[in-house]
Amino acid sequence: MLIQRDGLRVVIGLGKTGLSCVRYLKAQGYPVAVNDTREHPPGLAELRAEFPDVEVSLGKLDAELFLRASEVISSPGISIREPAIAAAMAAGVSVVGDVELFCRAAKAPIVAITGSNAKSTVTTLVGLMGEAAGKRTGVCGNIGTPVLDMLAEGEKDLYVMELSSFQLETTHSLKAAVAVVLNLSEDHMDRYTGMVDYHQAKHRIYRNCERFVFNREDALTVPLIADDLPRASFGLGVPDLNDFGVRVVEGKPYLARGRETLMPVSELQIFGDHNVANALACLALGEAVGLPMDAMLNTLRSFTGLKHRCQRVAMHNGIGWYNDSKGTNVGATLAAINGLGAAISGKILLIAGGVGKGQDFTPLSPAMAQFGQSLILIGEDASVIDVAVAAALPRFHCTSLDEAIAQALRLAKPGDAVLLSPACASFDMFKHYEDRGDQFVAGVRRLVEGHA
């Protein structure tokens, strides 16, 4: 039995991740307390049954409790700029997240992935590539299993971690075998003071990394770190030696590494230029940790994409219906419009709107001018998007997702695509982006496929 260590650990935020933190810290022998701003947080009954000795403070951030702590383990959903947390930090209390605890303990190499968009797709793909190469691979972070539960499963050969800017703010011990910022565009402007602030949070992923990958078509992804660190880039253009890109041979585009062609782009099961870039990023990351090329290419040939990420859910009367509910910011929606628009014969009817998080929606204007047929708006910031998108398109305001689907059904023609890619958070009308996507799929099946 472990001897209890000195130093109270306070976990902010319960739920699945908070419980994993409590279990980990108790197993390490620390005294633990829990604070949650909710009066009835998920997992409370389970916590009290499993750890009746854990002090629980509910209803608000507990500044006095934080000042008693040696270390506070904060949920990424709570800003470290909250006055109660900032006061604790000013008093010398260490404030970290569960990812920091994981990084202190993990022994296997870490592939660390962030970006405004495509994190989940790239993280999932690299994880599958690791498995295909015969490595015990843990996929964790902002996706799948809480990181401390992953540790409890036993040491892996490789960890592939999706990391949000919020998680990176409280992570100090990440020493990734390879790190990447896939892309950067405005997001979470309700939490950051601007793009510089957001950029700095994202670039924490490069601290103390052994090598890095960057997007040569997005200057904001290039780290300001030592020039002699091993690196590789990815992009849709012709690659330099040891970088990844696209080469055209006899009129046919190929994924390529330097001068070497690897596989035809047509063999990818995920479509659009943004997914070609994602595939190239995966190859660069996998090569950096020694994954064999054959295993990686075979994974790319079989991967059909993630749910809620530009997922085709129906093809009816020549019209495609696409669920991109995970498109919660302008950059994600822009990638979906450009990728899908270039792949279809018709035009895009975009269903967008929700909680805009202080974003600038004007970058959608050129893409919608080029590829758009109509703009169908829902949610809290529908009028903000209407004003910001300057493209000369018909636009319609709808009070529900079903109404938006019905409107798209009236407008769409064969060859067109109806794209739910809201460029916004979902919590004004839905539980979360998955709920929004599921309701879209159900509505399409009910209203569209049932429409003779």
Which residues belong to the active site? 119, 142, 188
Please tell me the distance from the alpha carbon of residue 342 to that of residue 348, in angstroms, as a whole number.
Answer: 10
First to last CA, the chain: 68
The pairs formed by 28-35 with CB atoms below 8 angstroms and a separation of 24 or more are: 28/2, 29/2, 29/3, 29/4, 29/5, 30/4, 30/5, 31/4, 31/5, 31/7, 32/8, 33/8, 33/9, 33/57, 33/65, 33/69, 34/10, 35/10, 35/11, 35/61, 35/62, 35/65, 35/66
Report whether 307 contacts 376 (CB < 8 A): no
Which of left, alpha, beta for 423 (phi over 0: left; psi -120 to 50: alpha)?
left
Helix, strand or coil, per DSSP, at residue 51: coil
DSSP assignments along 87-119, one per residue? HHHHTT-EEE-HHHHHHHH--S-EEEEE-SS-H
Phi and psi dihedrals of 426, rounded to 5?
A: -110, -5
Q: Is 218 helix (H, G, I), strand (E, B) or coil?
A: coil
Cα 410–Cα 452–Cα 441 angle in degrees, nearest 5: 65
